[in-house]
Amino acid sequence: MSTDILDRLRNIPIFSSLADNRESLAAKLKKQSHEAGSAIISEGDEGDTLYILNSGRVRILRNTLSGEPFALVNLDADQNIFFGEVALIDHDVRSATVLAVSDCETLTLSRKDYLSLCEEDPVAGFRITFQLALRLSATMRKSSRDMITMYQALIDEIS
């Protein structure tokens, strides 16, 4: 297994606790290339894959209520980012679009391969699932704070 991939996994927050189990995970990952300007994932599409940005730059977009794309942030591979992690647990639709700003390479983990890893290496599966739960919990707390902030701003505006 490539040392570069193992190093990348070591620096990705949800995989950093794997230590002895990184090779099990690395064996399940598949490389994908994405041309600049292409959508890696699209808001509203059904998803079943987690993506690790191995090289390049992406832009995260959300659609406004009127359907117009709104850029939230640009991210680089050196920031050790991943996206689409909810798809490992839930077969729901994508909540945002991830657009390749430059030519990109991703490492992908499908839900099927994730579940297979959980069966083959339960310790790795537990550690990844625990980290996913922590990340989802933090996202829920942030969303709740954001909603309260917007609600308070609305009250202040109409008062």
Task: For helices 122-158 and 111-120, give the axis angle rounded to 10 degrees.
Answer: 130
Domain count, the chain: 1
pTM: 0.85
Q: Which tokens in the block code for residue 42?
A: 């699209």
pLDDT digits (tens, 9 = 90+) for 56-94: 999 999 998 888 888 999 999 999 999 999 888 887 789
pLDDT digits (tens, 9 = 90+) for 95-143: 899 999 999 999 999 999 999 999 998 988 888 899 888 888 888 898 8
pLDDT digits (tens, 9 = 90+) for 13-70: 888 888 777 888 888 999 999 999 999 999 989 999 999 999 999 999 999 888 888 8
Q: Which tokens in the block code for residue 37?
A: 């300007």
Residue with tokens 């390749």: 100
Q: Which of 60, 12, 38 is nearest to 105 (CA)?
A: 38
Q: Which long-range contacts (CB under 8 A, 24 or more apart) does 135-140 make?
A: 135/13, 135/14, 135/85, 136/86
86 vs 1, 18, 43, CA distance in Å? 26, 19, 13
Domain hosting residue 38, numbered range? 3-158
Read off the CATH number of the domain in which 95 is found.
Answer: 2.60.120.10
